Amino acid sequence: MQSAWGKLWLVGLLWAGLFGLFAQQALWGHILSALFPSAQTPLFDRETLLSLSLQHLGITVAAGLLVILIGLPLAIFATRPLGAAFRPLLESSVAIGQTFPPVAVLVLALPIFGFGSTGAVLALFLYGLLPVVRGGLEAFSALPADVLEAASGMGYSPTQRLWRVEFPLALPVLLAGIRASLVLILATATVAPLVGGGGLGTPIVAGLAVSNLGFVTEGAVSVALLALLTDWTLTRLEAVLTPWRS
C-alpha cells in the first residue's frame, strides 16, 4: 500500500500546479484582454481568482463530504437484510432530491440559513446525493454471490464480511458514484453566489449581469479545469485502491 500512495505524487503535483496557475492574476488578465479586447476590465477584480477557486473548492468538498458521510451509510444500511425494506424509500427520496432544481433549494433555504455558504452546501448536498446512494446500492447488490457464499462459509461474521470482503469489492463502483457526485457538485456550485456563497460562480453571475464575457470565461474555464482534475484524481485513486483489478 505504501508504494501505491507513491503513485499519487503526480496528482499532488497537478493540484499544486493548478492553484499555481490560479494565482497568476496578471497572466489571466493578459490572456482575457487578448481574447476580449473590447472589455474595459476583462478580469474580475473584486476578488482574486485564487481566492474564488479556493472558496469554490471549499463548498464542493464540504458538500461532497456530507454526501459521502450520509449517502454511503444509507446505501450500506439499505443493502443489509435489516434495511432492505427501506431501500425503495431511499431510492425515491434521493431521486426527488435531484429533481429539485438547486437554485430553488437555494432560495428556499435562504430564510433558514440566511446569506452565506451554508445554504449552498445544503442544496448541493441534496443534489449530489443521488449518484453516491445509487452507486452504493448498486455496488453492494451486484457483488459475486459465490464470493459472498465462500466468505460466509469460511466463517466471516456479517460485520467482518461487510468490511473485509464486501466493501473492498464494492469500492470501484462506490468510487465511480463519488466521482460523478463530486463533479456534479463542483459544476453546480456556480449557483452559490446567488445566496452569497461565493466561489467561481461569482464572476460568472457578475459577468452575466453586466454582459462581460471576460468574467464569464474566467469563471467557466476555472470550473472546467477543477472538474477535470477532480475527475482524474478520483480515477487515479481508484487505480491505487483496487490494485487487484487489471
Residues that bind another protein (CB under 8 A): 144, 146-157, 160, 165, 168-169, 242-246
Q: How far from the centroid of its chain's Cα atoms is residue 107's Cα?
A: 21
- For another protein, the closer of residues 38 and 246 by Cβ is 246
Cβ 146 to another protein, closest distance in Å?
4
CB 79 within 8 A of CB 137: yes
Cβ 147 to another protein, closest distance in Å?
5
Helix (H, G, I), strand (E, B) or coil at 15: helix
CB 214 within 8 A of CB 35: yes
Distances (CA, A) of 134 to 31, 126, 148, 226, 227: 42, 13, 21, 24, 21
- For another protein, the closer of residues 151 and 183 by Cβ is 151
Q: Would you state the cell numbers that stand for residue 74, as one nine-digit string?
A: 444509507
CB 51 within 8 A of CB 137: no
CA 75 – CA 234 distance, rounded (Å) = 20
Amino acid at 187: A
- For another protein, the closer of residues 145 and 209 by Cβ is 145
Cβ 136 to another protein, closest distance in Å?
17
Q: Would you state the cell numbers that stand for residue 169, as one nine-digit string?
A: 469489492
Cβ 145 to another protein, closest distance in Å?
8
Cβ 182 to another protein, closest distance in Å?
24
Q: Would you state the cell numbers that stand for residue 161, as one nine-digit string?
A: 464480511
- For another protein, the closer of residues 9 and 244 by Cβ is 244
- For another protein, the closer of residues 166 and 218 by Cβ is 166
- For another protein, the closer of residues 5 and 9 by Cβ is 5
Cβ 135 to another protein, closest distance in Å?
18
* H-run or E-run covering 64: helix 49-78
Burial 106-118 (b: 16+ CB within 10 A, else e): beebeeebeeebb
How many residues are present in the chain?
246
